[in-house]
Structure 1
Amino acid sequence: MSMKSLAQESWNKGRFFFGHKLSSVQVIITYYILITLMALILFYLPIFRQPDSHVPFIDMFFMAVSTISVTGLSTFPISEVFNERGVILLEILFQVGGLGIMMISTFFFIISKRKVTLKQRQLIMTDMNQPRLSGIVRLIRTTFTILLGLQVFSGVAFSFYLKLSGYFHQWVDAFYYGFYISISAVTNSGFDVTGYSVSPYANDFLFLLAIMVLIFIGGIGFPVLVDVKEWLSFKFSKRFNSFRFRFSLFTKIALLSSVILFIGGTLVIFFLEKNHLFNHMDILGQGINSMFYSITTRNAGLQIHDLNDFQTTTLMIFALLMFIGCSPSSVGGGIRTTTIMIIGLYLFAF
């Protein structure tokens, strides 16, 4: 039996376990448990480890769970445990955790021109938290293409920028870190593989703005990306003048809530830290740093300062933003921006 046939049979029969029929939710949970265990095994292979590095099992298991869930937490310095190949492995696992195992699997089915069955569509709908089956395959094809293309484009752009700006003297190092920052920002993973996150670029406002854009796109929600892509297609086609495109209610709420939280978080952080941690900066630097923390605390977890240097009140604002998180059906977590928006609208109406 060929590998493709074996994968197809495993996919189609994956809802059966010890003779019991599993629901879509149970199948998805089983898949993620298996991929987490696979990540744990790979982490112990010497090819991905620094020489003589030792990490207790519970810490490595925590790292595997954190990687697949793109939480960004680790209990040990990553640069002291994983080598360059290990970091590349983390980047691959970020894709599985951020984009979802069903999205990646289905995309390979699409490009190999294999039929996506009804059961597979149900699993995709469950994994991506979608309310209906219609448009699932189109959602995956569009989202995967956009996010993967964005990672490649920004990775190349970052690599050239880091090398030509003098941050790195070797092209290999520039491409290595350029692609890592790109993938980490788009997938909202936030792992620190260097020990200083993105702090060396604290005064490079153009670079910080580019990272913020990637974080925003990754956390805005997959349906929003599809809506924007459809809007651009209609706008630059002849049908645009005779057809009025309408954004979905989800897109409107997700965009509005994200913008409100971004602006609100920026203003609060700015006024709390402008005479404290940001007192040595000009108004532009204070604004850019406030913007960066407003978006990275909700999504990515990247940092350009030691968090111990912030005021306690600011850290409480960070915790609130982290609690809210990203939009549904995105690479990020949290209770979701739309949840907060709907609660706010309900209270306003009441």
Structure 2
Amino acid sequence: MKKGLERFMTPFRIIISVYILSMFLFSFLLWLPFSHQDGIEMSYMESLFTSVSAVSVTGLSVIDVSESLSYTGVVFLALAMQVGGIGIMSLGTFVWMLFGRKINLSQRLLIMVDQNQYQFSGMVKLMRGILLLALAIELVGALILGTYYLQHFDTAAEAYYQGSFAALSAFTNAGFDVTGQSLIPFANDYYVQFIVLLLIFAGAIGFPVLMEVREYFTTKSSYFKFSLFTKVTVTTYFLIFVIGAAGIWVLERGMFFEGMAWHEQFFYSIFNSATARSAGLTTMETSSFSLPTLLFISLLMIIGASPSSVGGGIRTTTLAVMFLSIRSFALGKSDVKVFGREIHPEDKQKAFMVLSFFMFGLFLAVTLITAFEQGNPRVELIDIIFETSSAFGTTGLTTGVTSSLSRPSLFLLMLLMFIGRVGILVLLFSVKRKETKSSFRYPTERMIIG
């Protein structure tokens, strides 16, 4: 029976199970009375939704954190965000090393699955580097923001408390806040926005990219070369960031931006382009945007951040590989080349699967929530499209209807956030049976496509 269980619990299923258990663990901790402020009672449904949103580093919420959670509850929420942001196996590796335990082959395989890597070598070193680098970035961000907040808050303790949580939320792209207003109070404070943007970029660009950048500056070797993954990821991420900012400005220059100074339009555009990719923090009421802009931001949330990062969505490399494949096909080429390298055929297949599953799941979710919310006067179709894109992309932006949704809709959003966190490929591979070679093959026949 033990061997049967071991065969059933593949690394992919173990990762999924661990994330599910962590979501239920934090939901119980957030449900406990001492996690709430005096006079506040939270239902288990509210605690569960908050926990799933935190572990999936999404940020959608049916409660006001600043008014509902005590300092203890905020600590539990921060831990859930840290677990979801850095990853279960990264923190697990740290605990194993802390107690002097060796990381065996099966544990290395779990790390590889959790971080979406392809090889065993260097896994422990990568996890240690990711954890130390992430904590260092969060600490620096907390000190910078906390020190700056001294002029905005009555006590140093409150300033550094707010700064620490804001830095954690920005780096993990979790989107939660303890101000009750996200970053709206700092809508005209470009220093705070700039620091938050840097933290968002650091969390969303991908841990392997950060590790390579660190290696580049520490080794200073003339033989060092960035990997194809880093080149494609960074190029795609910042290209979409620029396109996103330009698109938001074009769509809103005669609407929300009308009458604003150029620098206000500039920062609203770049901040919303960055936060729409996964972060969920905002310097304005998102519902103030026009319908075309909300649809455009929904597209940015669907694209999401980079692989092996804190963000969700289809990921930047998926979009890049699909675009390059279409370009090669249109030019009559069978292979896909970029930066002097050729994309592996299996990676093209994975990109197609991720995009197809995501779009089908998103369409199905929008259809079901639309059916669930029939007769709800506070929820319109654009709200549903925006909310589902935000949940599936683990972004956390909302037009303000989350708390107005029915229980079936909230359960569906939790499912989307969970899938967005563990990753579509991990989910698909979890149902995959062991590959067996066929003893025979059928004749091949062409299909009419398109």
Corresponding letter in the other structure for 2:41: H
Give the 3-state SS of the residue equivalent to 1:299 in structure 2: helix
How far is the alpha carbon of 1:251 from its aligned partner?
0.5
How far is the alpha carbon of 1:273 from its aligned partner?
1.7
How far is the alpha carbon of 1:19 from its aligned partner?
7.5
2:67/2:180 contact within 8 Å kept: no
Q: Which residue of 2 aligns with 1:72?
A: 59
CA RMSD of aligned residues (A): 1.7
Deviations 1:277-299 (A, max 9, x none): 22233212211111100000112
User: Distance in 2 between the 1:130 and 1:170 partners?
Assistant: 45
Determine whether 1:303 maps to 2:288: no
Give the 3-state SS of the residue equivalent to 1:264 in structure 2: helix
Give the 3-state SS of the residue equivalent to 2:279 in structure 1: coil
Determine whether 1:255 maps to 2:242: no
User: Distance in 2 between the 1:230 and 1:28 partners?
Assistant: 29
User: Distance in 1 between the 2:205 and 2:296 partners?
Assistant: 20
User: Distance in 2 between the 1:289 and 1:29 partners?
Assistant: 37
User: Distance in 2 between the 1:204 and 1:51 partners?
Assistant: 33
Q: Which residue of 2 aligns with 1:272?
A: 251
Q: Which residue of 1 aligns with 2:139?
A: 152
Corresponding letter in the other structure for 1:323: I
- What is the TM-score normalised by the length of structure 2? 0.70
Q: Which residue of 1 aligns with 2:204?
A: 219
User: Distance in 1 between the 2:57 and 2:193 partners?
Assistant: 21
Give the 3-state SS of the residue equivalent to 2:60 in structure 1: coil
2:36/2:42 contact within 8 Å kept: no
Determine whether 1:35 maps to 2:22: yes
Q: Which residue of 1 aligns with 2:33?
A: 46
Aligned length: 328
Deviations 1:14-62 (A, max 9, x none): x979676511111111211211111111012222111232233223222
Give the 3-state SS of the residue equivalent to 2:277 in structure 1: coil
Mapping 1:236-247, distance limit 5 Å: 240=221, 243-247=222-226
Q: Which residue of 2 aligns with 1:205?
A: 190
Mapping 1:63-212, distance limit 5 Å: 63-163=50-150, 166-212=151-197
**Contiguous gaps of at least 5 residues in structure 1:** 1-14
- What is the TM-score normalised by the length of structure 1? 0.90
1:16/1:22 contact within 8 Å kept: no
- More displaced stretch, 115-124 vs 81-90: 81-90
User: Distance in 2 between the 1:16 and 1:196 partners?
Assistant: 52
- More displaced stretch, 22-31 vs 174-183: 22-31
1:109/1:116 contact within 8 Å kept: yes
User: Distance in 1 between the 2:7 and 2:101 partners?
Assistant: 27
Give the 3-state SS of the residue equivalent to 1:74 in structure 2: coil
Q: Which residue of 2 aligns with 1:4?
A: none
User: Distance in 2 between the 1:177 and 1:143 partners?
Assistant: 24
User: Distance in 2 between the 1:170 and 1:17 partners?
Assistant: 58
2:165/2:177 contact within 8 Å kept: no
Corresponding letter in the other structure for 2:57: V
Among all aligned residue pairs of Structure 1 and Structure 2, give the percentage whose two residues are the same amino acid: 39
How far is the alpha carbon of 1:109 from its aligned partner?
2.3
Q: 1:17 to 1:292 in 2, by over 3 A?
A: farther
How far is the alpha carbon of 1:261 from its aligned partner?
0.5
2:85/2:310 contact within 8 Å kept: yes
How far is the alpha carbon of 1:70 from its aligned partner?
1.0
Q: Which residue of 1 aligns with 2:442?
A: none
Corresponding letter in the other structure for 1:36: M
- More displaced stretch, 182-191 vs 56-65: 56-65
How far is the alpha carbon of 1:111 from its aligned partner?
4.1
User: Distance in 1 between the 2:187 and 2:51 partners?
Assistant: 29
User: Distance in 1 between the 2:3 and 2:191 partners?
Assistant: 51
How far is the alpha carbon of 1:113 from its aligned partner?
3.6
User: Distance in 1 between the 2:283 and 2:3 partners?
Assistant: 47
User: Distance in 2 between the 1:334 and 1:17 partners?
Assistant: 34
How far is the alpha carbon of 1:185 from its aligned partner?
0.3
1:40/1:60 contact within 8 Å kept: yes
User: Distance in 2 between the 1:32 and 1:149 partners?
Assistant: 25
Q: Which residue of 1 aligns with 2:416?
A: none
